[in-house]
A and B are shown apart, each in its own frame.
Chain A
Amino acid sequence: MVTPQSNLGTNVTYKRIISRIDFKDTKVIKGIQLEGLRVVGIVEELTEKYYIDGIDEILLVDAVASLYEKSVLVEIIRSVTTNCFVPITVGGGVRTLEQADSLFRAGADKIAINSAIIRNPDLITEIANKYGNQAVVAHLEVKSLGEETWGCFVESGRENANISVQDWVSISESKGAGEFLVTSIDRDGTKLGPDLDLLKKIRTLTDLPLVASSGFRTASQAVAALVGLNYQGVAIASALHYGLISVEEFKKGCASMGAQLRKT
C-alpha cells in the first residue's frame, strides 16, 4: 500500500447537493406532503438545466409508483442520461430484479427501493449481488407519530408499513443496501427545513451514507444536516423547481458555511 503522507491536507469526500425530481409520465410534479401534485416542468429539461448549473446528482422518483408501465420509466432515463453526466438514482415501484436490470441498462446508477423492502426484502440482496451494494438505496418514507416516534410508510406515503424506523434500517442494511434516502412526509414540499430530530435518530442507527430529503429551502438548513449530522447529501425539490434558489446559490451558501463541495 502507499505510504501515508501526513503533511498533505487530507481531502474528504465532498457533500452532495442532489436535485430530487418527482414525476408522473414525463412531467415533473410537486405537491405538499406527497399530496396535491402540480406539474412544474418536463423531466429532461429540468435535469439538463440542473446538470449545467452544477448539480452533483439527480434523484428521479416515479411519484405514482408502479401505476404506470415501466417502459415509460426506461425511456425517461435514456433520455435524461443523454446529456446529463452525473449519477442518477431512480425510485418508484421497483419490485423485481428484471425491472432493476432494465433501469440500470437504461442508465440508472442506483435504484431506490421503498415498498419492496416490506414486501420482498431479498430484492435488495439480489440487486446488490449483481450490481454492488452502492447501487441499492433504501428509501425511508417517514411520518411523525408523536414526539420522537416515527412510522415508515410505503406506496408513496399512502400505507403505514407498521414497522419501526430501527427495524427498517436494520433490515435494509443486513440485506445489503449501500445508502439510505430519508424522506420526511411531514416536511415534503413545505420548505420548512428538515426534521432534524428524525435525521439525527437515523444517523445513530447506521454508518452507511445518508441522504436527507424534504423541506430544504435554504443552505443553512442543508448545512445543519450535512455538517451538523454528517449526512452525505441533501436532496432539494420545490426550492429549485420553483426558482426560489439556484443550484449555484445553494452550493455557494453551503460552502460558505463549511460544507465541502466539489469544484464545478
Chain B
Amino acid sequence: MKRPLVGIVDYGAGNVENVFRAFRALNTEAQLVSNGAEFSQFSHLVIPGVGAFNFGMDMIHERELAAPIHEFVQSGKPLLGICLGMHMLADFGHENGVRAGLGLIKGEVKRLTTLPNKPQSETIPHMGWDRTEPVAKSGTIIDLGEDYYFAHSFYFEVSNHFDLSSTFAWGETKVAAVIQSDNVTGAQFHPEKSGQQGLRLLNRFTSVR
C-alpha cells in the first residue's frame, strides 16, 4: 500500500506548524497546502485551527478553499477537522449571528454557555485535559476513549446522533469530542497537543484509506 501523504490546510488561522510537527514525529509525510488546486495529490487532508468561526470561514472563502475541500471529500479520501477545523464542518455557526459553515457534517456550533447546568468545577473556556468516551457505532473508530487537550468556548451540536463517535462529559451532558460522517471526521480537542495519546490518534487517522 502506498504511504500516506497528508495535506495540512494552511488558511491563515491557527498554528498549522504544530500539526505538521506531530506528523513529522510520527514519520508520516505531510505538507502545508494553501492552494486548493493541489489538494488532489494528498491521501489525507487535515483542517487545523484555533479560534473564531467567522474569522476562519472568512479565510476559507478569501482563499477559495470551500469548493476544493468539498471535491476532496467527494473523492472519498479521509478528511480531519481539528477544533475550529471541526467546527467549520458544520452547517452553521452561532458566533455573532448565524454564519454558514462548510456543511460537511450536519449540525450547528454553539457557545458552551448555552448548555444547561454548567457544573461548578468547570470553566468556560473549557481548557485543559479531559477524558473522552467512545459511543458505540459502526465505522472507523479513531478515538478509543483517552485523555486529550481541549481549549474551546464553542461546541458542535450534531443533528444526527449516529455522527457522534466519542463524547466528553460536561456535567451530566455528553458533548461531541469526535464526530464522523463517512470519510469526514472532526475532533474537538487538539491531538497535536495531546501527548502520545494524540499522536496515536493521528496515526489511526492516517491508517484509514
Shortest CB-to-CB span from A60 to chain B, Å, is 15
Give per-residue flags for A174-218: 1 if the beta carbon is below 8 A from chain B beta carbons, else 0. Answer: 000011000000000000000000000000000111100000000
The DSSP consensus for interface residues of chain A is loop
Shortest CB-to-CB span from B159 to chain A, Å, is 10
A108 on interface, CB distance cutoff 8 Å: yes
A162 on interface, CB distance cutoff 8 Å: no
Q: Report how far A262 CA is from B130 CA in the complex, Å.
A: 7
A132 touches which of B84, B120, B161, B172 (Cβ 8 Å): B84
B192 on interface, CB distance cutoff 8 Å: yes
Number of residues on chain A facing chain B (CB within 8 A) = 49
Contact B17 A107 (CB under 8 A): yes
Q: Report how far A262 CA is from B164 CA in the complex, Å.
A: 23
B130 touches which of A14, A104, A129, A208 (Cβ 8 Å): A14
Q: Report how far A8 CA is from B170 CA in the complex, Å.
A: 12
Contact B125 A10 (CB under 8 A): no
| Chain A residues whose C-beta falls within 8 Å of the C-beta of B51 in the assembled complex | 130-132, 134-135
Shortest CB-to-CB span from B132 to chain A, Å, is 9
Contact B123 A207 (CB under 8 A): yes
The DSSP consensus for interface residues of chain B is mixed
Contact B193 A5 (CB under 8 A): no
| Given A12-B122, A232-B127, A130 contacting B164 (CB threshold 8 A) | no
Contact B130 A11 (CB under 8 A): yes
Contact B172 A6 (CB under 8 A): yes
Number of residues on chain B facing chain A (CB within 8 A) = 55
B25 on interface, CB distance cutoff 8 Å: yes
Give per-residue flags for B151-162: 1 if the beta carbon is below 8 A from chain A beta carbons, else 0. Answer: 111000100010
Q: Report how far A87 CA is from B50 CA in the complex, Å.
A: 12
Contact A104 B127 (CB under 8 A): no
Shortest CB-to-CB span from B117 to chain A, Å, is 9
B167: nearest residue on chain A (CB-CB)?
Answer: A2
A158 on interface, CB distance cutoff 8 Å: no
| Chain A residues whose C-beta falls within 8 Å of the C-beta of B21 in the assembled complex | 81-82, 85, 107
Contact B174 A209 (CB under 8 A): no
Contact B152 A132 (CB under 8 A): yes
| Given A86-B195, A107-B17, A11 contacting B169 (CB threshold 8 A) | yes
Within 8 A of A (CB), among B121-141: 121-131, 133
Contact B147 A16 (CB under 8 A): no
Contact A104 B195 (CB under 8 A): no
B153: nearest residue on chain A (CB-CB)?
Answer: A133
Shortest CB-to-CB span from A159 to chain B, Å, is 29
Contact B14 A104 (CB under 8 A): yes
Q: Report how far A106 CA is from B15 CA in the complex, Å.
A: 7
Contact B127 A85 (CB under 8 A): no
| Chain B residues whose C-beta falls within 8 Å of the C-beta of A207 in the assembled complex | 123-124
Within 8 A of B (CB), among A125-159: 129-135
Within 8 A of B (CB), among A115-133: 129-133
B33 on interface, CB distance cutoff 8 Å: no
Contact B193 A109 (CB under 8 A): yes
Within 8 A of A (CB), among B93-133: 119-131, 133
Q: Which A residues are closer than 8 A to B by beta carbons?
A: 1-6, 8, 10-16, 51, 56, 78, 81-83, 85-87, 104-110, 129-135, 178-179, 207-210, 230, 232-233, 262-264
Known: A134-B127, A178-B153, A208-B125. 12 other contacts (CB 8 A): A10-B172, A85-B192, A85-B194, A105-B15, A130-B55, A131-B50, A132-B51, A133-B153, A134-B51, A179-B127, A208-B124, A230-B120
29 contacts between A and B (CB under 8 A): A1-B173, A2-B175, A10-B171, A11-B131, A11-B169, A13-B122, A13-B127, A13-B128, A13-B130, A78-B17, A85-B195, A85-B196, A85-B198, A86-B149, A87-B193, A104-B14, A106-B17, A107-B15, A107-B18, A107-B21, A110-B151, A130-B55, A131-B14, A132-B50, A132-B125, A134-B152, A207-B123, A209-B125, A210-B123
